[in-house]
Structure 1
Amino acid sequence: MSAIVLASSVLAGCGGNNNNGGNGGANVEASSSSGASSTASASAPAKSGEVVKLKMWGGVPAESGPQAVVDNWNKEHPDIQVEYVRYVNDDEGNLKLDTALMTGQDVDIYVSYTMSQAQKRMESGFMADLGAYGDYNIDEKMGADAANWKIDGKYYGMPTTMSSYFVALNKDALDAAGLDVPKEWTWDQLRDYAKALKQGDGYGFIQNTEPYADPLDSALTKDGYTKADGTSNLDDPLVSKWLETLNAMMYDDKTTPPLGEQLTSKMPVEQMFLSGEVPMLNIGAWLLRSANNFTDYPRDFKIAFAPVPRLMDSAGDYITRGGLGDFISVNAKSKNTAAAWEFLKWYADGGMAPMAEGGRIPASKDADRDAALASMLGSKPETYDRDSLMYVTFEDTTPKFVRSVPQEVVDLRSQEYEKYFLGAQSLEDTLKAMVARHNDYLKQNAK
């Protein structure tokens, strides 16, 4: 905690008077007197014989692909050498990256995993406008979904992966219970699955905390975060539906762990799923980097994949999280932006291939996706239900959203719904508190 407080103090000292401290330090925002960089500064090339050194920051463990990527680049480009720095993609890890950016540590290229994080970093002046380079058409290379990552109509980074979120299923447990692998379903149906799959005092369903609140964003992407009069819509009926459903699963059905218990124990949800202890896990494609690791996570069951369930009754109204991800930016304040840009283009068009084993399929049309898919299935492809994996990765045509709600809103609503799941606040009071705090935020940030 002392380290976090110290880092927050550093940010406050560097960022002017518009900082907002937040829960866990994740929503520290800094303002820049010059604003976001509007052009990509072309650093002078290194003198003949000099080696340019770059540091790339990302959330994936080095051994799960990034180290192989930079080793391949460094072998081919002795004049530009890249070092990978890993930060954990959680509140503390994102604070570490933000602190490094604010204090001028060596960050030349870095990955943001949500639009709210990217927006904050752009506004603080730490993202070069990639359109200023003019030698790479992101829309053409990545497709229409790339536009979800534009900020003020510009690309301040490049989405590089086909991003999928899903419910991973123990196919053997499903077969034993006589349950099919869903291609579309509701949270009520998932609740029934969890009851049918629950064994003794165990759980039938667990969730990674990163996509935990995606159902809220799914509902509000459809219905709007604000109402027609401009006030908060965080009391939308679908928000209430999500809260009630999960609370019932925690305390009535006892098929999923209480959120408080999960957070305080730092519950190892991937390990619990891969060990066969819990048969369903809400997570993203990064599961595969552990699922392909049979040394640390031995298993004897096949994994199947289902889309994340919807809250609404009609499948035609559903919008799910996904599309493109791993938004990689060049730090506008780097001394070597030109070299960083060369690396980023190479990475996006195929250099990132070693990342596929961890579930990261290249988005660029010029990358070898067949080879990436083979890598994604690892050394034991027979341990996956290939049809369902292909469906959630490539074939599901459900419209996708990129989480873009401001970090302050993410934090304020999580602080309130955690009280509800802890039994410290009623559903009605939780909805009222979220709306009141969101309305205060809207007033303070009105343009």
Structure 2
Amino acid sequence: MKRFGKASLSLALAAAVLSACSGNNNDSQGSGNTAGSSGASKGSSGEVVNLTFWGGVPAESGPQEIVDTWNKEHPNIQVNYVRYVNDDSGNLKLDTALVSGQSVDIFANYTKPLLVKRVSAGSALDLSAFKDYDIDDKMGAGAKEWAIEDKYFAMPTKRNMHFVWLNKDALDEAGLPVPTDWTLADVERYAKALKTDSRWGYAEFPFWRDIVTFDGSLAVQGYVKADGTSNLGAPVVGQALQLEYDMMHTSKVSPPVSLIESTKMNMNAEFLGGKLAIFTAGEWIFRDANNTKDYPREFTIAFAPLPRVAEGQDDFRYLGGLGDAISINARSEHQEEAWAFLKWYADGGMLPQASGGRIPASKDADQSKALELLLGDNKDKYDTESLQRILANERPTFQVTLPQEVIDIRREEFDKYYIKAQSLEQTLANVVKRHNEYLKRQ
């Protein structure tokens, strides 16, 4: 996939660090208007076309500024932003709106399984109908991970970055270096040294109960064996689950799933509030980390790559690639206008979201500006050396291709193990059995 060159990225980051410009004007308010597509089919007729754009980012964190800028520059094509929460209920809300004919012209997909589901439902337009924009050239080879049967039903628009957030002050106090390559066993060792009576050693963003560390190996090995049966019982799966379980219940450096669920623990707030030392998440946490009004902090944040399950994993890949794949509703009456907006958005219109970690993937977007916005006025609150390593890394990446139904099956069974409702052996047996049943149905 096309990435920043290390030298050019270093220069861009250095410029961003030295710049006194905050570059962040993402404080416009409003949750977006839900007006539907009620205008004429062509903006050139002089009548106003209204488009509705559904996305998972809060309007005040960039999207409202984006649509306000577009609307000012394109008076005949007005875009209204509707925020849906990127969780099970929020995705169900979007899917219901798509199939029931509610006002959706453009929508963001955050996982490929959900995109595949929407393509199967006839909700996403085949973008190959448009010949004036080369997605592969603009976004690089990583865009192909979003193709379905060699066609694009969504345009990936941002660089996906999944990594580990660290309280560097706590690391310094414990005499621990910022990791540059590590395993889950190393994570536990660090977490033991960093845990206190008022601070957890390690936790994961809830997303990581769906996309598990071992997926970095199964992305290469395959989720299905050569004989057509499930590979979800591979040794690396059990090894990863055991390590996660031990951190919850043996070394007790991680909050157990039952506690997280029963208290509705906000993991972002736990980390930014100094109550969590090591946090597996991604670039979206910048949205809160840069919001020092609601999340004030004194400590410096450092960054590390995702951990591998164990040493010697030559087949390991890192979750990453491209994300925020934007689709046009196949039932929209204003597909040409939606396409015009999508091209503009991808090539730089999306920049107001950079302060929340959303770095544009397009080669034509202003990457130096994106990095300035990412750091903003808070550059002194980040360990820029470790951030630079994360942004410039050339590690091989993957996109999860497992169907959403199987991801849900896994989570159900894994959570039973994590809350001590069943053994590891029974968990693996159940996952393999249910995956095989799914494969037979297909």
* TM-score, normalised with respect to structure 2: 0.89
Q: Which residue of 1 aligns with 2:165?
A: 168
Checking the alignment, whether the CA contact within 8 Å between 2:199 and 2:277 is kept in structure 1 is no
Report the alpha carbon displacement of residue 201 of structure 1 after superposing the two structures with TM: 5.7
Query: Out of 260, 280, 286, which is 2:258 matched to?
Result: 260
Distance in 2 between the 1:372 and 1:220 partners?
33
Distance in 1 between the 2:348 and 2:202 partners?
36
Report the alpha carbon displacement of residue 442 of structure 1 after superposing the two structures with TM: 0.3
- After the TM superposition, which residues 280-319 of structure 1 pair with which residues of structure 2 at under 5 Å, given as runs? 280-314=278-312, 316-319=314-317
Distance in 1 between the 2:115 and 2:262 partners?
28
Q: Which residue of 1 aligns with 2:144?
A: 147
Letter in 1 for 2:430: A
Letter in 1 for 2:275: E
Distance in 2 between the 1:315 and 1:182 partners?
17
- After the TM superposition, which residues 426-445 of structure 1 pair with which residues of structure 2 at under 5 Å, given as runs? 426-445=423-442
Report the alpha carbon displacement of residue 230 of structure 1 after superposing the two structures with TM: 1.0
- Residue 182 (1) aligns with residue 179 (2): yes
SS of residue matched to 2:164 = strand
Report the alpha carbon displacement of residue 202 of structure 1 after superposing the two structures with TM: 3.5
Letter in 2 for 1:244: Q
Report the alpha carbon displacement of residue 402 of structure 1 after superposing the two structures with TM: 1.1
Checking the alignment, whether the CA contact within 8 Å between 1:215 and 1:310 is kept in structure 2 is yes
Report the alpha carbon displacement of residue 327 of structure 1 after superposing the two structures with TM: 0.4
Report the alpha carbon displacement of residue 260 of structure 1 after superposing the two structures with TM: 2.0
- After the TM superposition, which residues 212-223 of structure 1 pair with which residues of structure 2 at under 5 Å, given as runs? 212=209, 213-223=211-221
Q: Which residue of 2 aligns with 1:9?
A: none
Q: Which residue of 2 aligns with 1:236?
A: 234
Report the alpha carbon displacement of residue 378 of structure 1 after superposing the two structures with TM: 2.0
Q: Which residue of 2 aligns with 1:249?
A: 247
Q: Which residue of 2 aligns with 1:341?
A: 339
Distance in 1 between the 2:356 and 2:212 partners?
21
Report the alpha carbon displacement of residue 415 of structure 1 after superposing the two structures with TM: 0.7
Q: Which residue of 1 aligns with 2:114?
A: 117
Checking the alignment, whether the CA contact within 8 Å between 1:162 and 1:360 is kept in structure 2 is yes
Distance in 2 between the 1:396 and 1:187 partners?
20
SS of residue matched to 1:362 = coil
Query: Out of 147, 154, 157, which is 1:157 matched to?
Result: 154
Checking the alignment, whether the CA contact within 8 Å between 2:123 and 2:330 is kept in structure 1 is yes
SS of residue matched to 2:207 = coil
Report the alpha carbon displacement of residue 221 of structure 1 after superposing the two structures with TM: 0.7
Residues 370-425 of structure 1 show CA distances to partners (whole Å, capped at 9, x for unaligned) of: 000000112121111112112212x2211111122101100111111111111110
Checking the alignment, whether the CA contact within 8 Å between 1:291 and 1:297 is kept in structure 2 is yes
SS of residue matched to 2:51 = strand
Query: Out of 275, 278, 294, which is 2:276 matched to?
Result: 278
What 5-or-longer segments of structure 2 have no aligned partner? 1-39
Q: Which residue of 2 aligns with 1:382?
A: 380
Letter in 2 for 1:360: R
Letter in 2 for 1:351: G
Checking the alignment, whether the CA contact within 8 Å between 1:162 and 1:363 is kept in structure 2 is yes
Q: Which residue of 1 aligns with 2:417?
A: 420
Report the alpha carbon displacement of residue 200 of structure 1 after superposing the two structures with TM: 2.3
Q: Which residue of 1 aligns with 2:132?
A: 135
Identity of aligned residues (%): 52
Letter in 2 for 1:294: T
Checking the alignment, whether the CA contact within 8 Å between 2:41 and 2:49 is kept in structure 1 is no
Query: Out of 27, 34, 54, which is 1:57 matched to?
Result: 54
Distance in 2 between the 1:407 and 1:240 partners?
21
* TM-score, normalised with respect to structure 1: 0.88
Distance in 2 between the 1:63 and 1:315 partners?
42
Residues 135-186 of structure 1 show CA distances to partners (whole Å, capped at 9, x for unaligned) of: 0000000001111110111111100001100110011111111111111110
Letter in 1 for 2:212: D
Report the alpha carbon displacement of residue 226 of structure 1 after superposing the two structures with TM: 1.2
Report the alpha carbon displacement of residue 47 of structure 1 after superposing the two structures with TM: 6.0
Report the alpha carbon displacement of residue 269 of structure 1 after superposing the two structures with TM: 0.5
Q: Which residue of 2 aligns with 1:45?
A: 42
Report the alpha carbon displacement of residue 316 of structure 1 after superposing the two structures with TM: 3.3
How many residues align structurally? Answer: 402
SS of residue matched to 2:160 = strand
Checking the alignment, whether the CA contact within 8 Å between 1:357 and 1:372 is kept in structure 2 is yes
Report the alpha carbon displacement of residue 132 of structure 1 after superposing the two structures with TM: 1.1
The two structures, once aligned, show a CA RMSD in angstroms of: 1.2
Letter in 2 for 1:211: W
Report the alpha carbon displacement of residue 44 of structure 1 after superposing the two structures with TM: 4.5
Checking the alignment, whether the CA contact within 8 Å between 1:87 and 1:97 is kept in structure 2 is yes
Checking the alignment, whether the CA contact within 8 Å between 1:312 and 1:318 is kept in structure 2 is no
Distance 1:201 1:173, change over 3 A: closer
Query: Out of 83, 87, 96, which is 1:86 matched to?
Result: 83
Report the alpha carbon displacement of residue 265 of structure 1 after superposing the two structures with TM: 2.0
Checking the alignment, whether the CA contact within 8 Å between 1:219 and 1:239 is kept in structure 2 is no
SS of residue matched to 1:380 = helix
Checking the alignment, whether the CA contact within 8 Å between 2:157 and 2:325 is kept in structure 1 is yes
Distance in 2 between the 1:295 and 1:175 partners?
25
Query: Out of 58, 67, 88, which is 1:70 matched to?
Result: 67
